Amino acid sequence: MGIQSSINSTTDFAAIKAKQNVAWGSGDYSKVGVTLQITGEELAEAMDMMPGTKVLDVAAGNGNATLAFARRFCDVTSTDYVETLLEASGKRAKAEGLFVTYKVADAENLPFADQSFDAVVSTFGVMFTPNQQQSAAELQRVVKSGGKIGMANWTPESFIGLLFKTIGKHVPPPAGVSSPALWGSRDWVEDTFGPDCEIVSFRRKNFMFRYRSAEHFLEYFRTFYGPMQKAFDALDTAGQAALRDDIMALIEKFDVSTNDALCISSAYAEIIAQRS
C-alpha cells in the first residue's frame, strides 16, 4: 500500500497559503533558487521536448526550469503565486534574450483550460502546496492527453526532506498539511498520478549544496530562504539556539566534502509521467 497524505476536510488551505505566500516572499528565495539551476537543465534534457512545445512551469519560483525549457526554444508559460519571484525570473530571461510568458497563479487553481499544454513541469515548487491532492489534480488537468508531466522533488530521506522534519520539530506545520517530501516518494507519486498517468521515469538523483562552511549555509538560508527565516523568527532565543544546533548536526551528517568547504549531498527524485 502506498504512502497517502492525510488531508483534513476542515483544513483552511486558503489561510495556510496566505501565510506561505508571505514566507516565500520574505528573504530573497531567488538567491537560493538560482543555485539549483542544474536540476532544471537536467529535467529539460530528460523530457526531450521539441522546439515549439507548449510548456507550463508551475510554482516556478525564479525560473530554473522556465529558463531551461526556453533555452530549448519551447513556448513557456511560467507561473507562481509570489510575483516578486516571477519578476526575478523575468530579469534573467531578459538578460538572455529569452521569450517567456509570465502569470501570477495558484498551483491549486490554475487559470488555464483543460488540456492546454503539451507538458507541465515543476522543480521543487508544486511540492510545497498545502493541498497536495488538488495541486496534483491540476497538473494532470491542464496537460494534454499524451502530454508529459516533469518534476524534481526532494525525497523524504534526503537532507532537505530531513531539514523539513527538523524544522517541524521546533515549529510544527499547520494541522492537516503533509510533508512536501511526499512528492519525492515513489509510492505516493504512483498512488497520486498512477491512475491517469504512466510513470515513464522515476530517477533518484543527488544535488550538491556547495557553501563555504556549515555556518555559511545556515546564515545564507536564514537570510534568504523565507520558510527558514520565518521558523527562526517564531522562536525565542533558546528555541533558536536549539533549532540551530539540530540543523548543524544534520549538516554534519550529510557533509561529503573532502576539504574545508561544505558539500551537502541531497537526494531528489526526477519524475516524468505521461498523461493517458
Burial label for 231, CB within 10 Å (0-12, 13-18, 19+), is buried
DSSP string, 231-248: HHHTS-HHHHHHHHHHHH
Which pLDDT does position 9 carry in this prediction? 53
The 8-class DSSP code of residue 115 comes to T
Contact 149, 119 (CB under 8 A): yes
Pairing of the two strands 117-123 and 54-57: parallel
Which pLDDT does position 6 carry in this prediction? 39
C-alpha cell at 238: 533558546
Greatest alpha-carbon span in the chain = 54
Task: Say which amino acid occupies 227.
Answer: P
Which pLDDT does position 1 carry in this prediction? 29
The pTM for the full model equals 0.93
Name which of 258, 118, 269, 126 is nearest 187 in CA terms: 269
48-64 per-position pLDDT tens digit: 999 999 999 999 999 99
Domain 13-155+174-209+266-275 has CATH 3.40.50.150: yes
**Residue pLDDT tens, the chain, 276 long:** 233 333 445 678 888 878 887 777 788 999 999 999 999 999 999 999 999 999 999 999 999 999 999 999 999 999 999 999 999 999 999 999 999 999 999 999 999 999 999 999 999 999 999 999 999 999 999 999 999 999 999 999 999 999 999 999 999 988 888 999 999 999 999 999 999 999 999 999 999 999 999 999 999 999 999 999 999 999 999 999 999 999 999 999 999 999 999 999 999 999 999 999
Which pLDDT does position 5 carry in this prediction? 38
Would you mind telling me the total number of residues written for the chain in this entry?
Answer: 276
Which pLDDT does position 21 carry in this prediction? 75
DSSP string, 198-244: EEEEEEEEEEEEEES-HHHHHHHHHHHBHHHHHHHHTS-HHHHHHHH
The 8-class DSSP code of residue 72 comes to T
Residue whose C-alpha cell is 489561510? 15
State the Cα–Cα distance between residues 183 and 4, nearest whole angstrom: 11
112-128 per-position pLDDT tens digit: 999 999 999 999 999 99
**Ranges of H-type helices in the chain:** 13-25, 29-33, 37-47, 64-71, 83-96, 132-142, 159-170, 186-193, 214-224, 226-233, 237-254
State the Cα–Cα distance between residues 254 and 263, nearest whole angstrom: 8
With both helix axes pointing from N to C terminus, report the angle between 237-254 and 159-170 in degrees, rounded to the nearest 10: 160
What region, left, alpha or beta, does residue 177 occupy, with left being phi > 0 and alpha being psi -120 to 50 degrees?
beta
